[in-house]
Structure 1
């Protein structure tokens, strides 16, 4: 039995744990995470014997011979070196390290100690690639002549503006985090590879101070003279990850997103029959694979079989192969492939030009803030921080991730602090002595209602208790119109409208409403200086134009509407949300704010159809708004509910009331907000279009 430790408990660790559970002769015995509560929770969930808050503690306790390193990439070298020095074999997530010299040092250390070292390049174990590998090993297409790969992928973190992620530190890091995947496939098919030429795309500005190269055309040479091409585009709206391999006697094609692979080899028929035969054979093969993939997905969702999505299978197969090779003396257990790929990424990065020097946050001593903004590095927070600094205020901005801040957060009047609203003691320290607290922190999510309630409602409660304990004068809690019921076309929502009491709402809306009710009770009973702020459908520069308030965008091209799309929507520009908050912070006394709610809805209220049509016209994209009736949506929700229930998940029956509310058919009267605040959102239609839509064209 191989006893294993996990170092790190991030998202990928859970996938590794599920995969390890399917490996005979392997046992997870220890879990390490600097947040001990996460380590212990992970250990309980996956039945590990021990959990530790540091690697040093785990090594002192001992009891394992192999470790999976599942921490952020910048830590890979140090942690892996420590493990190898301690005589522990290592299986680590990509990239192996940041520099080739670090990789070589790890390889030398592993070899000198006779220890296994491998990077989990899991996509070479992807089901589609295993079919490619089988065809190549069977010499189906003869000697390789040319390989081409397209890797055109969206980036969820980029769309969400999560620039604190390590990969946004530089274009090199983007390559190490993302492009290492297609490079691993090319290395497996035609490697080792040598770059011949690299054509980088233009450097793009994603935020003030965040500039990156995200596109490359790379020509490489492979073994036996094969030519290799790689096209990379990151942050694309349409995804395409495909591989074409041309040999002397045929061609192999693979699509890694739909998990399909097929081959074309010549037969002995005359040309037109050969073309027809090849087309039929290829079509039948793709249909069979599509059908099998769909059946496997449904079977896994209903728990008739275990998890079978291609990503999980690639991790499982990678983990299995590592453990099967532990005692086999395999040559690929020395980390060489991982080092080659780091080298390729660094060479491609070198051709992309010098990284932009980014401004850094000011390190303060004795900073006396006028305002604390919790969750302040997000969309609305960046506008508010800019406006507060412009008004001469000193701002303490608190965020869970403070890496790669936009330029506004590097101003001398801004103190950027890393922390979480889950930590009550930290909150009190951050808020102490500051008269105004603005809470933009979401609180987090979860897999079920209880987890979401703990994160969102529990987070709001901790902030409120810290505000009460420290004696702040004003507490502005930024909620959402999702907390209200907006599904009655005959109702006009005002500042007096109460949060929706219905418990059948979707988890996000329900949590927003419950948090509001809890805060209002604390305002009434405990003296919390609360004002509630509910922005409508917030748009503007710095966020995606594909807003869930307009409809459901499973793909950007098609917006599945919440209704016919003909009712005016409560749009508001982010700059107008900030201007309303600024007036409350600077101009209104606390007693005029406390206990009040402010619905922030602008004066230009396009319909979903009109917004989609304008976005399509201005961007030149073939965007479509597709109407859906409530009953069509409910049928789809019930079908999903049945699958989730069959899988054993705790989910409530879908609510028709919630679907109606998403359509935002109620009217909004913001006259009270405008009168009290002296607030005037943008009312000119063309000005709104310029700031909500045209910014995405430019």
Structure 2
């Protein structure tokens, strides 16, 4: 008799949910039956993706429906304990994303509850389930490495939100949350290999203050002792070369596990004579690296990168856990609640040592703002890079600002309290109506990030149309919408682009973002013509400045913090503009009477080519940037190969056909003119080259290093 499939439900429809869902839908004997999220739209979208028949907005309803044998807890960490407790009390198994809970006591309570209820409980600890880690554990167990003398664990990986947001992430709310979020990657190794960490000392460096007055240290060094071995844990979040590795030195060998790449090397003394030994040792290391590299390349090619190390670790963890559910066996110790509780305990002990070094929350400084205008502006997309600058520019001009955000919002603290946050869903007409109550003007800066055209139609174009309708109903005096210069055909160096230049006539062959933004503009134009929507469209150029990302893909194709491939030869002038100048232009677009019904390209004066930009970054940071000129046709050829691999191997449909003109347009080969925006908006972007570099690059501190 065939067994019934194990029914899996996803609690939470955020970023990590798709990683779990992609594994579950491929596991034999498992079916995804439900998705639960506070946002019904987000839950429905995910359910449609995986063919799940049930959608819920509360855990109570999910459990009462009796449609799941196991629930994946994928909510923010501060909700893990309550949700997991509720699931276990219902007699249903739970699989929880790290961190298991926010305290060791909570972890132990959940562990005890799962034992009492006799239901399975697993915790995903990334990077403990990769094949390379299996080899490390094997070599420790069989004595190849021998008694361990030292262990070094490195998580040296940029955390962009510390410098450019979003600042409302759970892990950024308190300094200790940062370690709770990232620490499980590192301390789970100690918990699994040793179980203890004594004599802990912590050194904190590279402080950075984020909006809201919270200071995080971007560099942590934790030292201690475990089982007579000296332990060093290095956590560095500044921009730089990726190093996520574990190095173990024993009496018999040195083992190097790179969990960012899923590779493993074992260094042992050579049995050859003293002349040949150095060569033999290097051949051994090279051979191990070659085998690992070929194996990983084949796996990632076959899966179209779905089984890169991060995804592969999740895949093996879920596969192992459901294997234990099917057989009734105990879960792998690396997924156990006991190991997860010990991991959190190690993090708690480390945090206690580090706490005296934390910097108190800084109160917002007074701003030189104009008197109140007694007028409120709604900013949709205000938590982004440009949005934050706009909100403060509006407040400085005397406006009250209401930020529409899905989350609680952060980074808008001011002494004058002119910025507030409205929590809502852009797909809810009721939320939009409430948000626009008493509002004079609306800014729409939000954008979608989708992988399909259908996704953009639903989550960008349809949402923009709904916002336009709400503006008409609320009788706002103006809607300012931010499009993109990407919608132009910028592939011709001989044709300057102005506001009179039409969009690319073949947008269906352009990248989805450029196509979607143009479609949004078209929908708003229809509402302007048919229903009198008061509309202004603004298209910023390549925006740089403080709070912006180092790895800006409008400038180059990045391959690391200091390595990138230029769009073409990198000699053409790029349409750069400073974020503060964009904010000023957006404010003027709301104020200028003659702006209504017009469109403006907010482009700075001609200043820098791609090469100039990277030379300035290198000079400001003291690092040799590797910006490699790359012919446009090479990008196109690679895109064509990827297109056919996705169609043939992955059987995907609805893909955008590669376009050489799209790649040329990404290089922004056409020059842009900004005279119209200057004249109509009385707009004055930075005109001095040295000041432009200072404001856009030097003061931006793109690498996040402490300059003191």
Normalising to structure 2: TM-score of the pair?
0.90
Is residue 549 of structure 2 the alignment partner of residue 544 of structure 1? yes
Please tell me whether the aligned partners of residues 198 and 225 of structure 2 are also in contact (alpha carbons under 8 angstroms): yes
Alignment partner of 1:625: what SS? Answer: strand
Is residue 397 of structure 2 the alignment partner of residue 397 of structure 1? no
- Alpha-carbon distance change, 656 to 267 in structure 1, aligned in 2, over 3 angstroms: closer
Alignment partner of 2:354: what SS? Answer: coil
More off after superposition, 157-166 vs 38-47: 38-47
CA distance, structure 1, for counterparts of residue 29 and residue 363 of structure 2 = 50
Is residue 244 of structure 2 the alignment partner of residue 241 of structure 1? yes
- Alpha-carbon distance change, 19 to 577 in structure 1, aligned in 2, over 3 angstroms: closer
- Specify the alignment match of 1:459 in structure 2: 463
- Specify the alignment match of 1:60 in structure 2: 64
Is residue 338 of structure 2 the alignment partner of residue 340 of structure 1? no
Using the TM superposition, give the Cα deviation of residue 412 of structure 1 relative to its aligned residue in structure 2, in angstroms.
Answer: 1.6
Question: Which sections of structure 2, spanning at least 5 residues, go unmatched?
Answer: 365-372, 702-706
Please tell me whether the aligned partners of residues 127 and 310 of structure 1 are also in contact (alpha carbons under 8 angstroms): no
CA distance, structure 2, for counterparts of residue 420 and residue 329 of structure 1 = 41
Equivalent residue runs for 1:314-329 within 5 Å: 314-326=313-325, 327-329=328-330
- Alpha-carbon distance change, 19 to 578 in structure 1, aligned in 2, over 3 angstroms: closer
Is residue 419 of structure 2 the alignment partner of residue 414 of structure 1? yes
More off after superposition, 69-78 vs 153-162: 153-162
Alignment partner of 1:150: what SS? Answer: strand
Using the TM superposition, give the Cα deviation of residue 159 of structure 1 relative to its aligned residue in structure 2, in angstroms.
Answer: 5.4
Equivalent residue runs for 1:350-361 within 5 Å: 350-353=352-355, 354=358, 356-357=360-361
Alignment partner of 1:407: what SS? Answer: coil
- Specify the alignment match of 2:285 in structure 1: 282
CA distance, structure 2, for counterparts of residue 171 and residue 342 of structure 1 = 16
Deviations 1:527-554 (A, max 9, x none): 1111111111211111024433322223
Please tell me whether the aligned partners of residues 385 and 547 of structure 2 are also in contact (alpha carbons under 8 angstroms): yes
Please tell me whether the aligned partners of residues 499 and 517 of structure 1 are also in contact (alpha carbons under 8 angstroms): no
Please tell me whether the aligned partners of residues 151 and 182 of structure 1 are also in contact (alpha carbons under 8 angstroms): yes
Please tell me whether the aligned partners of residues 171 and 181 of structure 2 are also in contact (alpha carbons under 8 angstroms): yes
Please tell me whether the aligned partners of residues 222 and 232 of structure 2 are also in contact (alpha carbons under 8 angstroms): yes
CA distance, structure 2, for counterparts of residue 534 and residue 651 of structure 1 = 26
Is residue 493 of structure 2 the alignment partner of residue 492 of structure 1? no
CA distance, structure 2, for counterparts of residue 170 and residue 349 of structure 1 = 12
Equivalent residue runs for 1:51-450 within 5 Å: 51-62=55-66, 64-158=68-162, 160-207=164-211, 209-223=213-227, 225-301=228-304, 307-326=306-325, 327-329=328-330, 332=333, 335-353=337-355, 354=358, 356-357=360-361, 369-408=375-414, 411-442=416-447, 444-450=448-454
- Alpha-carbon distance change, 232 to 557 in structure 1, aligned in 2, over 3 angstroms: same
Please tell me whether the aligned partners of residues 162 and 208 of structure 2 are also in contact (alpha carbons under 8 angstroms): no
Using the TM superposition, give the Cα deviation of residue 243 of structure 1 relative to its aligned residue in structure 2, in angstroms.
Answer: 1.2
RMSD, matched Cα: 2.5
Using the TM superposition, give the Cα deviation of residue 426 of structure 1 relative to its aligned residue in structure 2, in angstroms.
Answer: 1.5
- Specify the alignment match of 2:367 in structure 1: none
Alignment counterpart, residue 645 of structure 1, candidates 644, 647, 651 = 647
Using the TM superposition, give the Cα deviation of residue 124 of structure 1 relative to its aligned residue in structure 2, in angstroms.
Answer: 1.0
Deviations 1:336-372 (A, max 9, x none): 2111111121222223334643669xxxxxx975211
Using the TM superposition, give the Cα deviation of residue 76 of structure 1 relative to its aligned residue in structure 2, in angstroms.
Answer: 0.5
Normalising to structure 1: TM-score of the pair?
0.92
- Specify the alignment match of 1:363 in structure 2: none
Please tell me whether the aligned partners of residues 464 and 520 of structure 2 are also in contact (alpha carbons under 8 angstroms): yes
CA distance, structure 2, for counterparts of residue 126 and residue 159 of structure 1 = 31
What is the number of equivalent residue pairs in this alignment? 682
Is residue 522 of structure 2 the alignment partner of residue 517 of structure 1? yes
- Alpha-carbon distance change, 272 to 172 in structure 1, aligned in 2, over 3 angstroms: farther
Equivalent residue runs for 1:637-676 within 5 Å: 637-646=639-648, 647-649=650-652, 650-676=654-680
Using the TM superposition, give the Cα deviation of residue 116 of structure 1 relative to its aligned residue in structure 2, in angstroms.
Answer: 3.1
More off after superposition, 278-287 vs 669-678: 669-678
CA distance, structure 2, for counterparts of residue 507 and residue 329 of structure 1 = 46
Please tell me whether the aligned partners of residues 210 and 404 of structure 1 are also in contact (alpha carbons under 8 angstroms): no
Question: Which sections of structure 1, spanning at least 5 residues, go unmatched?
Answer: 361-366
- Specify the alignment match of 1:635 in structure 2: 637
More off after superposition, 338-347 vs 552-561: 552-561
Alignment partner of 2:442: what SS? Answer: strand
Is residue 572 of structure 2 the alignment partner of residue 567 of structure 1? yes
- Alpha-carbon distance change, 518 to 125 in structure 1, aligned in 2, over 3 angstroms: same
More off after superposition, 467-476 vs 158-167: 158-167
Using the TM superposition, give the Cα deviation of residue 620 of structure 1 relative to its aligned residue in structure 2, in angstroms.
Answer: 0.8
- Alpha-carbon distance change, 583 to 51 in structure 1, aligned in 2, over 3 angstroms: closer
